[in-house]
Structure 1
Amino acid sequence: MNIAKRVGAWGDRHHPKILDLLRMVLGMFLFFKGIIFFNNAGYLRYLILDTGAIKGSPGLISAIIYYVTYMHVLGGGLIFLGLFTRLWALLQLPIVFVAVFFVNITAPYVNSELWLSILVLALLCVFLVLGSGPLSLDRLLMKSKNNDELR
């Protein structure tokens, strides 16, 4: 736990405000990607089955579809707001990792989504280390808590 606290403290000290804008764009992207998957679950089912990596019951496939969709919607929204950013980035990592190494890389044609998935994976790793930043609900709640303790 000491290492996690030190990484968190280092990330809080080395966080330019421009990264908050990047965090918000990442959150919006994940949120809208989740909305797209929510509105077109058949496409997500096709992506999962087309890779051949998961061979299971229809119930397992449906559970994966719900997990991916709701993690993107909820996680993307909370990453955008900067609330528990490290936690939500960590929860997004397995989804995006699978998208990079099993879904997009196996496409037989040049896929622009591969590069987008790699970028999202890299940004999630960055925000896993750096955290929310100065323009976030985490920081606002921390300031509010510190002000309440001073009273």
Structure 2
Amino acid sequence: METVKSLNKWANRHTSYPVDLLRIALGAFLFFKGVSFINGSQEVADVFSPVANFTGGMFVLTYVASAHIMGGIMIAVGLLTRWAIWAQLPILIGAVVVAALGYASPSSLLLAIVTMIVCVFFLFYGSGKHSADYYFKMQQ
């Protein structure tokens, strides 16, 4: 717990608007990816076709969509950012594996890797000074 507090203090001292804009853009991107999963495009169905035969296939689709939508909103406003990113990491690792195995396009692999790198950055950095977490902390 002390490590998280020290990371938060460091992030609050070294925060800037471009980093906050990156967090907001990441949240918006994840939100819109979740919405695209709900729209049920054929590409998403093709990617998940190997998992569809398993019992948890529908659970995986539901988890991906809901985690992206709720996590995207939480990351964008800076509310429980680290928790939201922990929910995104299994999805992003799966996206990298699926794209690396050739079930998706190479651009999807690059997009998944970049998104995962940005998520890992915010996993350590936190939500920053211009976030709902910081606002609620200051209200105590």
* TM superposition score normalised by structure 1: 0.82
Residue in 1 aligned with 2:124? 129
RMSD: 2.1
Letter in structure 1 aligned against 2:36: I
How many aligned residue pairs are there?
140
Aligned to 2:139, the other structure's residue is in SS state helix
1:134 CA drift (Å): 1.6
Whether the 8 Å contact between 1:79 and 1:88 is mirrored in structure 2 is: yes
Whether the 8 Å contact between 2:98 and 2:104 is mirrored in structure 1 is: no
Letter in structure 2 aligned against 1:86: R
Aligned to 1:83, the other structure's residue is in SS state coil
Residue in 2 aligned with 1:27? 27
1:7 CA drift (Å): 3.1
Write the distance in 1 (CA, Å) between the matches of 2:8 and 2:56: 35
When residues 91 and 110 of structure 1 are mapped into structure 2, their CA distance, relative to the original with a 3 A threshold, is: closer
Letter in structure 2 aligned against 1:80: A
Structure 1 spans left out of the alignment, 5+ residues: 146-151
Aligned to 2:102, the other structure's residue is in SS state coil
- Between structure 1 and structure 2, the one with the greater Rg is 1
* TM superposition score normalised by structure 2: 0.88
Query: Deviating runs (4+, > 4 A) in structure 1?
Result: none
1:55 CA drift (Å): 7.5
Deviations 1:120-141 (A, max 9, x none): 0000000000111121111111
Please say which of residues 117-126 and 41-50 is displaced more in the overlay.
41-50
